[in-house]
Amino acid sequence: MGESLLSSLWLLTKRVCAGAVVGITLSDRIGSVATMHGRSMQPTLNPAEDDPWGYLNADLLFLEKLSLRTYNFSRGDVVVFRSPLEPKMWLVKRLIALQGDWVTVPGTYDILQVPKGHCWVEGDNAEISLDSKSFGPIPLGLMKGKVTHVVWPPSRFGPVASHLPEGRVLSQKAGTRTYP
Amino acid sequence: MSLGAGAVPSVAHPVLRGTHLPHCRITEVAGAAMTVTYGIGARCWLPALREVCKKVCDRCTVSSTAGYQCRIFLSTNSMSWRALLQEAFERSVVFTQFICFLNVFSNHVVEVHQCLGPSMLPTFNVSGDILLLEHLSSRFERIKPGDVVMARSPANPRLVVCKRVLGLEGDSVTVLPTSSRGHIRQTVVPKGHVWLQGDNAYNSTDSRHYGPVPYALIQGKVFYRIWPPEGWGPVLSQPTS
């Protein structure tokens, strides 16, 4: 009996490992889900963060990773990237401008051209968002995925629209692709 | 169903009633298929098992084995389409798992990478040395000044460059000039960034051109060179001045 228990345990371990390996590959290459905390993307994401239970009702997002293969991101996409200041931290912001675009820096009269390979990101809730207006344009290499859907709570289930705020980009290069 | 080692069970299946499969027991019967588990810790060896099955009953086929288990199909033909399909499916599952394992291993543990270009002379050749890259020390923030790392270029996200780390956040680094008219200067690496520089200071596009690089762009640490053969060996961390 001990032998059969051992062999079934071994079989179970193997199944779990195989499942984990397939799961990690899918989440690396195709897409994964993640919760997001904080109010920087209100009202698009986490609109309920103000109420006392808000932290528990944080949105569960679907991150699409296929665009990481070519780093083709468009202006207006909601993107996830690793913070340039704290490597362990992942941020969710809206991509405003790509390389070569001229953007106005909010709160100043500065106009700035986004350097090669970089992009400009901003939160929808401009007042409290920690974004490119504090750390400047960020390299596209920091990107970790694109937010395409809200998965949870069920009342908010649906796609996350890509939309570019009016008048933020002064002159943009033709097309939306970053690299030909 | 539990049997001691070496016992020869009687197979309790309508078709196989009264026949014997040495050293194994039936753990699952579903339709025309049954799963047999070896009881003595021996692995299934497909040709041997086919031989045994043929002796026992000429209407069953062994479709696949996985470790200590194998699956036997009972059919009127020697190899039914169901068995074939089952075998094809199981093989493709194993193949997929293998590919996924390779992917996870190269994404999270050790990856083989090529380093092209003159920027790391004399440590690496221009022609493209093949290096082993480990992702663990960058994940757990164990990168030290002097380590050779691969990082996504800030100027082109599709390009991965190979440079040496000269300083971590808060370190003061000595920056060599990029042209003959430049001056040596000191700079402090900002929070969350690292200073990358090629070993060949005269021909390297690095932090002197694009400034300090976010730590998160580091893909991993280069720890071994496997090509060319005469350069085979660990890649050492060099103390930085």
The reply to whether the predicted model has a pTM over 0.80 is: no
User: Which pLDDT score, from 0 to 100, does residue B224 have?
Assistant: 94
Structural domain contains residue B93:
no
| Residue B141 and residue B50 share a domain | no
| Residue B230 and residue B114 share a domain | yes
| Residue B63 and residue B167 share a domain | no
Structural domain contains residue B104:
no
pLDDT band with cut points at 50, 70 and 90 for residue B164: very high
pLDDT of residue B31 exceeding 80, the answer is no
pLDDT digits (tens, 9 = 90+) for A79-122: 999 999 999 999 999 999 999 899 988 888 888 899 999 999 99
pLDDT band with cut points at 50, 70 and 90 for residue A165: confident
Break chain A into its structural domains and give their ranges. 30-98+121-128+143-167
Number of domains observed in the structure of chain B: 2
B10 vs B163, more confident: B163
User: Which pLDDT score, from 0 to 100, does residue A8 have?
Assistant: 87
Which residues of chain A are within 8 Å of residue B193 when distances are taken between CB atoms? 84
Which residues of chain A are within 8 Å of residue B106 when distances are taken between CB atoms? none
First to last CA, chain B: 72
Measured distance CA(B4)–CA(B35) in Å, rounded: 18
| Residue B54 and residue B114 share a domain | no
Q: Which chain A residue shows the shortest CA-CA distance from B140?
A: A88
Strand pairing report for B218-227 and A138-139 = unpaired
pLDDT of residue A171 exceeding 80, the answer is no
pLDDT digits (tens, 9 = 90+) for A32-56: 999 888 888 888 888 776 666 666 7
Which residues of chain B are within 8 Å of residue A70 when distances are taken between CB atoms? 158
| Residue B201 and residue B132 share a domain | yes
User: Which pLDDT score, from 0 to 100, does residue B4 have?
Assistant: 37
Structural domain contains residue B176:
yes
B165 vs A172, more confident: B165
Question: What residues make up the domain containing B137?
Answer: 110-234
Nearest to B152 by CA among A90, A81, A64, A120: A81
Structural domain contains residue B101:
no
B101 to A11: CB separation less than 8 angstroms, yes or no: no
- Mark which of B77, B93, B118 sits at the end of a domain: B77
Nearest to A79 by CA among A115, A110, A34: A34
DSSP B32-78: TEEEEEESSSPPP-HHHHHHHHHHH-TTEEEEEEETTEEEEEE-SSS
Note whether A141 contacts B: Cβ–Cβ < 8 A: yes
Structural domain contains residue B239:
no
Q: What percent of chain B has pLDDT over 90?
A: 44
User: Which pLDDT score, from 0 to 100, does residue B14 have?
Assistant: 46
Q: Which chain B residue shows the shortest CA-CA distance from A16?
A: B97
Nearest to B216 among A25, A71, A84 (CB): A84
User: Which pLDDT score, from 0 to 100, does residue A140 have?
Assistant: 95
User: Which pLDDT score, from 0 to 100, does residue B50 have?
Assistant: 65
| Residue B219 and residue B132 share a domain | yes
pLDDT band with cut points at 50, 70 and 90 for residue B78: very low
Tokens of B235: 């890649």
Mean pLDDT value of segment B50-72: 63
Tokens of A40: 């920087």
Lowest mean pLDDT among A42-56, A130-144, B90-104, B129-143: A42-56
B213 vs B75, more confident: B213
> Which own/partner contact pairs does A9-12 have at CB distance under 8 Å and 24+ positions apart?
A10/B67, A11/B67, A11/B69
Structural domain contains residue B72:
yes
User: Which pLDDT score, from 0 to 100, does residue A111 have?
Assistant: 87
Nearest to B217 among A3, A24, A141 (CB): A141
| Residue B11 and residue B55 share a domain | yes
Measured distance CA(B162)–CA(B176) in Å, rounded: 18
Mean pLDDT value of segment B169-176: 90
Average per-residue pLDDT for chain B: 79
User: Which pLDDT score, from 0 to 100, does residue B11 have?
Assistant: 44
B78 vs B83, more confident: B83
Measured distance CA(B172)–CA(B189) in Å, rounded: 6
CATH code matching the domain that covers A30-98+121-128+143-167, chosen among 3.30.56.10, 3.30.70.360, 3.40.50.300, 2.10.109.10? 2.10.109.10
Which residues of chain A are within 8 Å of residue B217 when distances are taken between CB atoms? 139, 141-142
Structural domain contains residue B167:
yes
Q: How many CB atoms lie within 10 A of CB A30?
A: 11
B135: CATH: 2.10.109.10
Note whether B35 contacts A: Cβ–Cβ < 8 A: no
A14 to B67: CB separation less than 8 angstroms, yes or no: yes
- Mark which of B56, B77, B98 sits at the end of a domain: B77
Measured distance CA(A53)–CA(B123) in Å, rounded: 56
Q: Give Cα A70 to chain centroid, integer Å.
A: 16
Structural domain contains residue B84:
no
Catalytic residues of A: 40, 93
